[in-house]
A = this chain, B = another copy of it.
Amino acid sequence: MRDFSNDHRWLSLNTATVRKQGDLAQIVDACAKHGIRAIDPWRDQVATIGLDRAAKVIKDAGIELTGYCRGGMFTADESHRNEARDDNRRCVDEAKALGAPCIVLVVGGLPQYSRPGSAPSKNIVNARAQVDDAIAEMMEYAKQANMPLAIEPLHPAYAADRACVNTTEQALDICDRLDPNRLGMLGVALDVYHIWWDPELLPQIARAGKDRLMAFHVCDWLVPTKDILNDRGMMGDGVIDIKSVRSAVEAQGFAGYSEIEIFSQNWWDRPMDEVLQVCIERHKTVV
């Protein structure tokens, strides 16, 4: 496993971590100032300052991307499927313009939450079948742009409203079905928050292998977790043995960034500089 204790060259910042403190241009500036070499921006943050300007500020700062958040939300009723498809095609175009190495896919839960206005359903089995079909369709478009897709399994607490892909095994099953020859265009984005509890985690990371491991995200699971969406922890403040997961991922040959993604009202309430300083310190000590 790589030694992170001396510098933070393998720290990437998911820009949602400081989304309340500034716009994307300000976040890029702050990252450059703190020697953070990579980010993973969100679509709404890019849209706020405009795609062209986003591409320019990122390029001018010499900052690399570790992904683009996010594609997906595939589950929809019949009348919302085209909307979902077109939205994901635009996402591919944006990712390409920004020079992202992959798109992170949050696949959607039940249709009424994934694409509001869709007819309510309790059929998660059906939602999962839709996800397979829609990823297959998106892959066709993404391949032309040479843009890999990284399925992010989300914690089962989000199964209803955000993603019906809830384990690494399930995400890899989709990869194997849609990309049996491992052509490099489909893989997984693993976030310790979503997967740390999984008894099958280590064998599934081994199953993924280097070519399917497209992104590695870190934060922490707090006890108690007061808000299931916006009370994620700074690395070291919770119960996840982050180093053991990174060790397993690197044992497969993953040599990319550890991307910090923290949705937290607590951290959104602090100055951007303070958050980035703590991220850098914890990256050296507990990641």
Chain A contacts to B: CB under 8 angstroms: 110, 113, 122-124, 128, 155-157, 159-161, 164, 166-167, 170, 196-199, 221, 223-225, 228, 238-241
The answer to whether B161 touches A197, judged by C-beta atoms less than 8 angstroms apart, is: no
| CB<8 Å pairs between A and B, sample of 11 | A110-B239, A124-B241, A128-B199, A155-B157, A156-B157, A156-B197, A157-B225, A159-B197, A160-B221, A161-B224, A166-B199
User: In the assembled complex, which residues on chain B have CB atoms less than 8 Å from the CB atom of A166?
Assistant: 197-199
User: In the assembled complex, which residues on chain B have CB atoms less than 8 Å from the CB atom of A221?
Assistant: 160
A241 to B224 Cα, complex, angstroms:
28
The answer to whether B167 touches A199, judged by C-beta atoms less than 8 angstroms apart, is: yes
User: In the assembled complex, which residues on chain B have CB atoms less than 8 Å from the CB atom of A160?
Assistant: 197, 221, 223, 238-239
User: In the assembled complex, which residues on chain B have CB atoms less than 8 Å from the CB atom of A196?
Assistant: 124, 159
Give 7 closest A-B pairs by Cβ, nearest first: A159-B197, A122-B241, A156-B197, A160-B239, A157-B157, A156-B156, A170-B199
User: In the assembled complex, which residues on chain B have CB atoms less than 8 Å from the CB atom of A170?
Assistant: 199
A236 to chain B, nearest CB (A): 10
User: In the assembled complex, which residues on chain B have CB atoms less than 8 Å from the CB atom of A123?
Assistant: 241
A122 to B228 Cα, complex, angstroms:
20
A164 to B240 Cα, complex, angstroms:
13
A197 to B153 Cα, complex, angstroms:
12
A247 to B204 Cα, complex, angstroms:
31
A41 to B124 Cα, complex, angstroms:
32
Q: A110, A155, A161, A239: which has the most chain B beta carbons within 10 Å?
A: A239
Select which of B124, B156, B159, B223 is within 8 A of A113 by beta carbon: B223
User: In the assembled complex, which residues on chain B have CB atoms less than 8 Å from the CB atom of A197?
Assistant: 124, 156, 159-160, 164, 166
Known A-B contacts: A124-B196, A166-B199. Give 11 more (CB < 8 A).
Answer: A110-B239, A122-B241, A124-B241, A156-B198, A159-B196, A160-B197, A160-B238, A161-B223, A164-B197, A166-B198, A225-B228
